[in-house]
Amino acid sequence: MDAFRPLGTRRTLIRGTGPLVETVRAEVTSACERFGGEVVRDGPYDLLLDLVAGDDLGLGAEGFAFARAGGTTTVTASGQHGVLYGLFHVVRVGEDAFRGTRAREVHRPAAALRMLDHWDNVAVHPVMGQVERGYAGGSLFWRDGRARGDFAQVRAYGRLLAACGVNAVSVNNVNVHEAEARLLTDRIGEVADLAGALRPYGIRTHLSVTFAAPVVLGGLSTADPLDEAVRGWWAEAVHGVYEAIPDFGGFVVKADSEGQPGPFTYGRSHADGANMLATALAPFGGTVHWRAFVYDHRQDWRDRSTDRARAAYDHFAPLDGEFADNAVLQVKHGPMDFQVREPVSPVLGALPRTRFAVEVQATQEYTGQQRHVCWLGPMWSEVLRFRPDGEQGATVGELAQGGLVAVSNVGDDPFWTGHPLAQANLYTFGRLAWRPDADPHHILDEWIALTLPSASTSERLAAGLRAVLHGSWRTYEKYTAPLGVGFMVQPGHHYGPGVDGYEYSPWGTYHFADRDGIGVDRSAATGTGYAAQYAKPWAELYESVASCPDELLLFFHHVPYGHVLRSGKTVVQHIYDTRFEGVEEAEEARRVWAGLADLVEPARHARVAERFEEQVRCAREWRDQVNSYFLRKSGIPDERGRTIH
């Protein structure tokens, strides 16, 4: 709330009516009550928040114009959402919003949908718990098998999301179990209650549904998407949803993946399945988000011709142009599964006639599980700035007209994200979803100033937080899986090192290390052919060992341990050196944080300090297990003579 101080010390005029305008009025009034200032009915005033009729300014439903002249700061919008986002923009700018003169700036979101997917279970799952891949306590939405009664916390969450620029939330797990399935029908009232708590901040509610709902809930003998009875059942179910939630956003669907039912059962395509749901949603303005995470999770590790990385492209590229206008293909940013390093998915450039959304993972399943500092802004920025057709083509951020989606990292923890510094990932996602070409480091500075307002007056605190966060993604990469090879984690929970954890499993996540080398041959000439799924400039780059970027070398090629990288180091020496460097950098980050104890609220400082102890412990374990593994595989000692066990 301290970030609202500049607003609360001034006179503010708010023009316009509507529920979101009333939210803005309440926010400003609260700030004035706390810090002084006044909400006025007429002039003079220091801040004008103005909702104008029509859209002559070309701002759209969520955009706003920001300017300062003649001693008055003005936010103008043609939609209620724009007034709300304009208010939060003034808060971000802070005192500078009321100084000097500012030429008119227009701010519009690049994507109409900026969504968080919560993998929350209504009933606690015996294996995955309350939140699948959740590392911040229990669900914000569900408790004891039903919707939580504490809607004040849900409303506060809506406020947090609006401040980040997020405008949609899916409230349940994409792996839909029995209790979650019923949210679509007889338990839709609980979803409506959640939607009511989120609505004052412009957040539309979405729901994950099971493709087999007509069988599971409706008693039909089939879920065939071309069956008229099935289509009728969905039409009736959707009508009931919109009766309960008129501004409902739509469905999220995981189908034919990791045991979830889908259209393949009936010999139908994913376009058939998605379009059936799109047809039911279309009369109400709803959207179906159809996840492209479809692959064979029962692979034979002996068969090197099978490649999980190929799966999404092989399934969906042939269907380009067959999806309905209100069907969005939700594509993971990489071809595997949210690894600390993997190439941008070729699907993101392969479907010019299909709306797609880019899916990232804010919850740090493979990047430290919110026990390690790992700010992912630079990774996401690289993905969004990637040009699938080469240097002259559009970026992924420009092409993703279906929006940006993140798997949520929030739970009912007092710090929202378990690790207080993991809040930076939530904020960065929202801001990059609004403007994909934004500088992530500038966004991080915004988050620092908003979350720890004393950082604006203490350069030591601001510098310390930057030192801890800026390079944390690269630090995590240095002590975990090397050169894009991925995984090497403990099976099941995916935390901590397990170099051969999935090497002989059916999940298709192999590194193929032997006595001679490591890596997966994904070339077209001698390997799985995955490299050829890219447009020509990238296909040629990745095809050759000589031109493949070092950071992705082991993703695309199997090379000897003595292969020399562009750094001049051999692959095995790079592995040794970066494991040691990663631990040293984690230890230094812990030292820097300890030195900020006098500048950070005690409970927050203690929580982060506790997490740093675990990060350093785990980083050392990664270093020792990975280095020992490759020393034993290769027989090549560390040229610097350090201890490898």
| Active-site residue list | 258, 337, 365
- Non-local CB neighbours of 421 within 8 Å, separated by 6+ positions: 373, 375, 465, 468, 469, 608, 611
Q: Which of 35, 25, 39, 24 is nearest to 1 (CA)?
A: 35
Q: Report how far residue 598's alpha carbon sits from residue 458's, in angstroms, rounded to the nearest whole number.
A: 11
The CA-atom distances, in angstroms, between 60 and each of 23, 78, 79, 82, 108 are 20, 7, 7, 8, 7
- Non-local CB neighbours of 419 within 8 Å, separated by 6+ positions: 135, 136, 370, 371, 372, 373, 607, 608, 611
Q: What phi and psi values does residue 250 have, to the nearest 5 degrees?
A: 145, -165
3-state secondary structure of 69: strand
Q: Report how far residue 53's alpha carbon sits from residue 16's, in angstroms, rounded to the nearest whole number.
A: 9
Under 8 Å between Cβ of 292 and 331:
yes
Helix H or strand E encompassing 459: helix 459-469
CB neighbour burial string for 249-258, b if at least 16 within 10 angstroms, e if fewer: bbbbbbbbbe
Under 8 Å between Cβ of 357 and 401:
no
Under 8 Å between Cβ of 49 and 29:
no
- Non-local CB neighbours of 103 within 8 Å, separated by 6+ positions: 67
The CA-atom distances, in angstroms, between 366 and each of 78, 258, 576 are 42, 18, 21
Under 8 Å between Cβ of 235 and 195:
no
Q: Report how far residue 637's alpha carbon sits from residue 565's, in angstroms, rounded to the nearest whole number.
A: 18
Q: Report how far residue 428's alpha carbon sits from residue 443's, in angstroms, rounded to the nearest whole number.
A: 6
Partners of 72 in the β-ladder: 69
Under 8 Å between Cβ of 291 and 174:
yes
CB atoms near residue 175 (< 10 Å): 18
Q: Is 44 exposed, middle or buried (0-12, 13-18, 19+ CB in 10 A)?
A: exposed
Under 8 Å between Cβ of 407 and 361:
yes
Q: Are strands 114-117 and 11-15 parallel, antiparallel or unpaired?
A: unpaired
Taking only Cα atoms into account, the Rg of the chain, rounded to an integer number of angstroms, comes to 25
Instruction: Please list the alpha-helical segments (H only) found in 317-419.
Output: 377-385, 396-399
Under 8 Å between Cβ of 469 and 424:
yes
Q: What number of CA atoms fall less than 13 Å from residue 222's CA on the CB side?
A: 16
Q: Report how far residue 462's alpha carbon sits from residue 430's, in angstroms, rounded to the nearest whole number.
A: 21
- Non-local CB neighbours of 359 within 8 Å, separated by 6+ positions: 117, 291, 293, 330, 331, 332, 333, 405, 406, 407
Q: Report how far residue 397's alpha carbon sits from residue 338's, in angstroms, rounded to the nearest whole number.
A: 18
Partners of 404 in the β-ladder: 114, 358
Give the CA angle between residues 200, 417, 453 to the nearest 5°: 75
What is the residue whose two structure tokens read 């995590």? Answer: 476
